[in-house]
Amino acid sequence: MNPMPKSAELDQAANDSRDNEAAQQSAAAASAGAESSAKNPAERSDKPLKALDFDVPERVGKYVLGDKLGSGTCGVVYKARDEVLNRIVAIKLSPIGKPDVSTGQVPGAQRAFMTEISAAGRLKHPNVVTVYDAGQQDDLNFLVMEYVAGHSLKAVGKGQKLLPPHRAIEVIMECCKALDYAHSRGIIHRDIKPANIMMGRDGTVKLLDFGIAVKTTGDDATAVGPTLGTPNYMSPEQIRGKNLGPASDLYSLATVLFELLTGKQLFKAKKVKELFRIVVGEIAPKLNDIRPDLPIELSEIIARALNKMPDQRYQSGEAFAEALRPLAEQLRIMAHRSEHQRSFIQRLRRLSFFQEFNDGEVAVFLNHAEQRDFYDGDLLIGEGVKTREFSVITRGVVLVRRNGVLQRVLGEGDTFGEFGFIHDEPSPVQVSALRGVSVLTVSPAFLGELSPKTHLHYYKRISESLVHKMAVGDVLTPDLLLEDA
């Protein structure tokens, strides 16, 4: 655990955060595509926007303004139509900030607006909202972006109807791609939260609002600076005003995933300063304590991403996504299984071969396996016959012979075919059914369709089974055989 920062540090951090929240003006509604029932420009009677209070024109250049979509870090977003290209866009408006007479500093909202133009304008990625145009008209800055028909994750996070777990993970994996891209260009977002992640109706995921982003490379690098962001989603090092790297954004993304899966914010407190103390000094709650129905591996992944020490977290979006990928695959398959199939998976997990696997991993196996039934005396594998198929016995009894001599009796949960599956050589034994037998059979191609982690788990388990049989050799304990002879 990190040592607690000095009280002065937390006080300053809390003040910086409150200043940023004031500039955001309801940042929870921010999105270039979040739909609302706002009035048309001619009928608008919006509540005062404090620092962002201004008269909204009916058009800006070639853009005719429509409904208000929301308020962001540095402006108010409207739906608009590009009259020249005849397309719908989102346009963010903000008053042009006048420099302070004594200090020469421009207001925070103006700085944030220019930061967003600089950062987002450099990013061209399928998971980042595209910037089309920017400029000034009269007393307003404007930033024109693609319009995303859909809603932000705020609509499915805290206190809302939750996404299916596999979908929540898939959304976060898309965000990982966007962050990796931004980080590769030296940009740290600093304000990852549900309101800044859009879900399109077509399933697309878009990251937006780079208003408080910082640069980590170049002559104007600003990775160290004031503590800005949204308190509930800030990393410990961001709260303390320390140097920020990709791990900070990934921490924030992990808090979003926790919220999507539980419907609860990771940490809560009545005051910002107290919230900061908790984030910096207390270990995050475990996902598994709140959602014991989800795989323990998912809880472990999120715990690593929320480590207080940046160097102990995932260091790239790719690494975070790679850890999540097998869980998304497994949970997606489980989501489409019937109650009967789920019961069958539970039964399989009691068999010796599957005892080390979770429900999702067994479901993945079933998704690729073929069930086969055999009757007394049927030949399953011929001695000297080349086959790449590996099978798990789910019912009945199987006899294994070599040169006509009985070598082994196999039952439920036992396996056969490992040698050919791994080595692609003729089987050294004959396998036949003693009683009515059911097996689940896969070929090596199934491994190639798995995520790397799940692939390794199954290959390791099949290899262990082969090694065990080779170690045992030709020893036979035929208690079962005596009953069936």
Last residue of a domain, one of 266, 297, 331: 331
Q: 191-218: per-residue pLDDT in tens?
A: 899 999 999 999 999 998 876 777 666 5
State the Cα–Cα distance between residues 14 and 269, nearest whole angstrom. Answer: 13
The owner of tokens 């689940």 is: 440
Residue at 336 is within a domain: no
Residues 454 and 327 occupy one common structural domain: no
Return the HEC string of the chain. CCCCCCHHHHHHHHHHHHHHHHHHCCHHHCCCCECCCCCCHHHCCCCCCHHHCCCCCCEECCEEEEEEEEECCCCEEEEEEECCCCEEEEEEEEECCCCCCCCCCCCHHHHHHHHHHHHHCCCCCCCECCEEEEEEECCEEEEEEECCCEEEHHHCCCCCCCCCHHHHHHHHHHHHHHHHHHHHCCEECCCCCHHHEEEECCCCEEECCCCCCEECCCCCCCCCCCCCCCHHHCCHHHHCCCCCCHHHHHHHHHHHHHHHHHCCCCCCCCCHHHHHHHHHHCCCCCHHHHCCCCCHHHHHHHHHHCCCCHHHCCCCHHHHHHHHHHHHHHHHHHHCCCHHHHHHHHHHHCCHHHCCCCHHHHHHHHHHCEEEEECCCCEEECCCCECCCEEEEEECCEEEEECCEEEEEECCCCEECHHHHHHCCECCCEEEECCCEEEEEECCHHHHCCCHHHHHHHHHHHHHHHHHHHHHCCCCCCHHHHHHC
Q: Are residues 197 and 325 in the same domain?
A: yes
Please, are residues 131 and 296 in contact by the beta-carbon 8 Å criterion?
Answer: no
The answer on 169 and 51 residing in a single domain is: yes
- Report the 10 Å Cβ neighbour count for 102: 6
In a domain, 340, yes or no: no
Do both 67 and 137 map to the same domain?
yes
Which of 276, 305, 331 finishes a domain? 331
Same domain, 355 and 268: no
The per-residue pLDDT for 108 is: 52
Answer yes or no: do 82 and 212 share one domain. yes
Residue 375: inside a domain, yes or no? yes
Residue 91 is predicted with a pLDDT of 92
Catalytic residue among 16, 180, 191, 414: 191
Q: CB neighbours of 13 closer than 8 A, spacing ≥ 6? A: 227, 239, 240, 241, 273, 276
Please indicate whether residue 249 is annotated as part of the active site.
no
Residue 387's domain spans which residues?
347-484
Nearest to 156 by CA among 34, 300, 20: 34
Tokens 């480590």, residue? 307
Distance between CA atoms of residues 365 and 363, nearest Å: 5
The predicted structure's pLDDT at residue 32:
39
Vertex 224: Cα angle to 102 and 177 (nearest 5): 125
Q: Looking at the 3D structure of the chain, how many domains does it have? A: 2
- Structure confidence at residue 17 (pLDDT): 54
Token pair, residue 160, equals: 């809302």
What pLDDT does residue 371 have?
Answer: 94
Predicted TM-score of the model (pTM)? 0.76
We report the CATH number of the domain holding residue 380 as 2.60.120.10
Residues 269 and 305 in one domain: yes
Domain's final residue, options 304, 331, 358: 331
Looking up residue 117, the CATH number of its domain turns out to be 1.10.510.10
Say how far apart CA 412 and CA 178 lie, in whole Å. Answer: 47
What is the number of other CB atoms lying within 10 angstroms of the CB of residue 283?
10
- Segments in the chain below pLDDT 70: 1-53, 72-74, 97-121, 211, 215-228, 472-485
**Same-domain pairing of 265 and 351:** no
Q: What length does the chain have?
A: 485
The pairing of beta strand 379-381 with beta strand 430-433 = antiparallel
